[in-house]
Structure 1
């Protein structure tokens, strides 16, 4: 219990809220790496997932690739990339590792969103004369967007917790508090860092949960609300 009290005292100490290693600065750095990795992963995984869901081809390959990416040891891969690219590109190495970590859940969410659309809906789109591209952008992508955002939510939780490993190679983020606390035997600082990371993860998840709810097309929400319990 004293450790939690010490961590709370550390978090409320004004000295820890200023300077290059203050809580706002390191939180912003942590969030920057997280959002950059999510944006890049979405740029790669979302189109690939939509293509797989739309055509039905490549699903086995995507599942195997996603499983292989999940099995990669993040810290080991980061160390390998830093050695290959050089210390001067350690930021690039960190982003590459985070993107590889984020791609599998986003890819799965993208193609699962399209795969979950009732066949009757797609047949109706064909019946009114929509082309393949029109069906994809006007029907499949909008209806599949909530599940894609669900994949982004899962990816965000993994990425925001993994950003901390960048502190091992000297990149400042909230993981810096854990590394510094371990070296100094300052367990209150370590716990405070863990609390900050958990809080950031919860905030991101909450924002994405709201976005996922808002992404459900209005017609689908109305139809769901009209179904008797």
Structure 2
């Protein structure tokens, strides 16, 4: 294969201009999916962590099972079960809703464990001191312990948020017209892999700055831990 053949096959500007509106539409769907699933996943994880901190022994065991289950369960399989399995129970979700639910459940385990570990590392005496001042257990956790836990877990939270955004590509499995799905449709229309290369470039441009930020946060936390 000559250089011209390589460029024509993988970096064909004519093909890219032809399908660019389709890729732009897919990018918008990907952004919308991440914008909905990310806060829901973090909120679900926070609820899990708070319930663990406030609950009794059996509730804690149940929540640990929840965390381990959704951390270990492949998100691809989870999405298939939600989108194709729930209709057998009379529950039908649109592709967007199924993808959001799969991402939220999957990340509730990851975010839940991050928040839970962050709260567990706060000295127990701080909660006792807060309750001695008249705060309820929930107020002590939310107002005193949680802000400290968030500062200590900002790097893993950001890292998991990055993984969630990357995981939105699984939505293509249920024919949701996200960036990956749109690129595959565009490839079929042009008989050229250029749209897939363009989608990969778009993912890189969008996520690389975020990945660099996560790396800096992790190095900063590591430096604090060694001082």
Q: Normalised by the size of structure 1, how large is the TM-score?
A: 0.71
Q: Aligned match of 2:140 in 135, 141, 154? A: 135
Partner of 1:103: 108
Root mean square deviation of aligned Cα: 4.0
State the partner residue of 1:188: 194
| CA distance in 2 between partners of 1:199 and 1:11 (Å) | 21
Cα shift readout 1:145-204 (whole Å, capped 9, x = no counterpart): 235544542432332222222223321111124523664663332232123223333355
Q: Which residue is equivalent to 1:159?
A: 164
Q: State which drifts further: 40-49 or 198-207.
A: 198-207
Query: Is the contact made by 2:19 and 2:186 (CA closer than 8 Å) also made in structure 1?
Result: no
Q: How many residues align?
A: 216
CA distance in 2: counterparts of 1:201 and 1:59, whole angstroms: 35
Structure with larger RCO (C-alpha < 8 A, sep 6+):
2
Q: Sort the Cα spacing of 1:79 and 1:125 in 2 relative to 1 into closer, same or farther, 3 A.
A: closer
Q: State the TM-score, normalizing by the size of structure 2.
A: 0.72
Q: Which 5+ residue runs of structure 1 have no aligned equivalent?
A: 213-223
Residue equivalent to 2:178: 173
Task: Say which of 144, 147, 151 aligns to 2:149.
Answer: 144
Distance in 2 between the 1:168 and 1:38 partners?
A: 19
Partner SS for 2:94: helix
What is the deviation of 1:100? 1.6
Contact 2:42 2:111 in 1 (8 A): yes
SS at structure 2 position matched to 1:22? helix
Label 1:71 to 1:131 Cα distance change in 2 as closer, same or farther (>3 A): closer
Cα distance in 2 for partners of 1:47, 1:76 equals: 24
